[in-house]
């Protein structure tokens, strides 16, 4: 049968234009069917605690023990531990570029929680902060002098005319106590040596390694971490002298924080050493445990600083 002999309806279907029209119609029907299909439901995420955006946020500012990256590595596990156990609040770790920036923060009443050195502790009390714990053993809070193993420095008198590096002029263990030590051993720290304030504990140590200072001053926690993180460089250094110890760093809370929150944080800190998880966190910070303490515990620091300022220099630069 030829096309001309076909019924008009059949011939119409077989024309190329009609075939294309039919295909278009077919796919249009499929598309409409797809549009009417209900999308798959997205799974819901459930949480045992409210979202962070709905919680009060409290900042926990640690003084510049380390550079910001190292500080986060050491202290973020503690912050996460606290947040899990206090679901009604959210605490964030805050670092500072140097001691002076940190001190400006607490003087303006910024962070809700602090971990300051003992001199900063008595200063922060003036801005409405209260001590809730001591961070570490008192016996661990002392100044230490680091020198290269090939150094000719043997006694304090050998430092005359030399450069000594410190993290900051307000660092108690890593500056004030060592300068008092040198003063008591016959060195006039304002005239006999050059004091180089380099910004961080690690920088103070590295200045010695690089030969930019004859002696670098720090305290046991950063020195232990430096030995762990930089064993090759640490092998070329040694501990020269150490000062007597004082009280360790404190943990403080601003008086605007609800007492229920500050009490829970205090309890968690004091109980940290009683569990394997807590001891791991403490080890990460190179700290043995937190101890009970309050404002009156730091009166000894007031007396020490008063004696230092009378005999050596003002703590704060004029």
The set of residues, in sequence order, having a beta carbon less than 8 Å from that of 184 and lying 6+ positions away, is: none
Q: Give the per-residue pLDDT at 38.
A: 41
Six-digit token string for 91: 């605490």
- Span 150-185, pLDDT tens digits: 999 999 999 999 999 999 999 999 999 999 999 999
CB 197 within 8 A of CB 169: yes
Strands 250-254 and 129-135: antiparallel
Q: Give the per-residue pLDDT at 209.
A: 97
Q: Give the per-residue pLDDT at 275.
A: 96
Number of residues that this document lists for the chain: 318
Q: Give the per-residue pLDDT at 280.
A: 96
pLDDT band at 286 (very low <50, low <70, confident <90, very high): confident
Six-digit token string for 87: 């679901």
Cα distances from 30 to residues 13, 16, 22, 27, 110, in angstroms, run: 21, 22, 13, 5, 62
Question: Rounded to whole angstroms, how far apart are CA atoms 223 and 127?
Answer: 31
Q: Give the per-residue pLDDT at 66.
A: 79
DSSP state of 15: S
Position 32 pLDDT exceeds 70: no
Domains (range + CATH), the chain: 52-137+247-311 (3.40.190.10), 144-242 (3.40.190.10)
Question: Rounded to whole angstroms, how far apart are CA atoms 165 and 244?
Answer: 19
- Calculate ∠ Cα 259-264-268, nearest 5°: 150
Question: Rounded to whole angstroms, how far apart are CA atoms 287 and 281?
Answer: 9
DSSP annotation string for 59-97: EEEEPSSS-HHHHHHHHHHHHHHHHHH-TT-EEEEE--S
Question: Rounded to whole angstroms, how far apart are CA atoms 89 and 232?
Answer: 43
pLDDT band at 205 (very low <50, low <70, confident <90, very high): very high
pTM for this entry? 0.76
Q: Which of 216, 200, 182, 171 is nearest to 316 (CA)?
A: 171
Q: Give the per-residue pLDDT at 180.
A: 98
Question: Rounded to whole angstroms, how far apart are CA atoms 133 and 289?
Answer: 10
Question: Rounded to whole angstroms, how far apart are CA atoms 269 and 279?
Answer: 11
- Mean pLDDT over 240-260 rounds to 97
The set of residues, in sequence order, having a beta carbon less than 8 Å from that of 140 and lying 6+ positions away, is: 219, 220, 221, 245, 248, 287, 288
CB 304 within 8 A of CB 246: yes
How does the average pLDDT of the chain come out, rounded? 86
């Amino acid at each position: 049968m030829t096309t001309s002999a076909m019924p008009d309806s059949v011939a119409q279907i077989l024309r190329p234009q009609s075939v294309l029209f039919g295909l278009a119609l077919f796919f249009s029907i499929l598309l409409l069917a797809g549009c009417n299909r209900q999308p798959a439901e997205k799974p819901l995420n459930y949480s045992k605690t409210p979202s962070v955006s709905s919680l009060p946020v409290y900042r926990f500012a640690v003084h510049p023990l380390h550079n910001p990256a190292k500080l986060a590595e050491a202290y973020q596990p503690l912050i996460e531990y606290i947040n899990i156990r206090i679901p009604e609040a959210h605490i964030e770790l805050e670092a500072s570029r140097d001691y002076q920036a940190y001190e400006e923060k607490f003087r303006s009443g910024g962070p809700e929680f602090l971990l300051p050195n003992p001199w900063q502790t008595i200063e922060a009390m003036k801005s409405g902060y209260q001590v809730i714990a001591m961070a570490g053993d008192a016996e661990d809070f002392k100044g230490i002098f680091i020198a290269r193993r090939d150094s000719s420095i043997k006694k304090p008198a050998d430092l005359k005319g030399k450069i000594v590096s410190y993290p900051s002029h307000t660092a108690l263990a890593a500056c004030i106590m060592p300068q008092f030590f040198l003063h008591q051993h016959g060195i006039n720290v304002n005239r006999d040596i050059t004091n180089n304030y380099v910004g961080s504990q690690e920088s103070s140590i590295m200045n010695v390694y690089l030969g930019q200072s004859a002696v670098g001053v720090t305290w046991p926690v950063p020195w232990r971490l430096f030995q762990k993180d930089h064993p090759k460089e640490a092998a070329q250094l040694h501990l020269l002298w150490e000062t007597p110890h004082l009280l360790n760093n404190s943990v403080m809370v601003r008086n605007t924080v609800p007492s229920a929150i500050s009490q829970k944080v205090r309890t968690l800190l004091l109980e940290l050493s009683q569990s394997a998880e807590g001891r791991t966190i403490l080890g990460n910070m190179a700290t043995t445990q937190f101890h009970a303490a309050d404002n009156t515990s730091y009166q000894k620091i007031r007396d020490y600083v008063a004696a230092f300022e009378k005999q050596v220099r003002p703590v704060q630069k004029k």
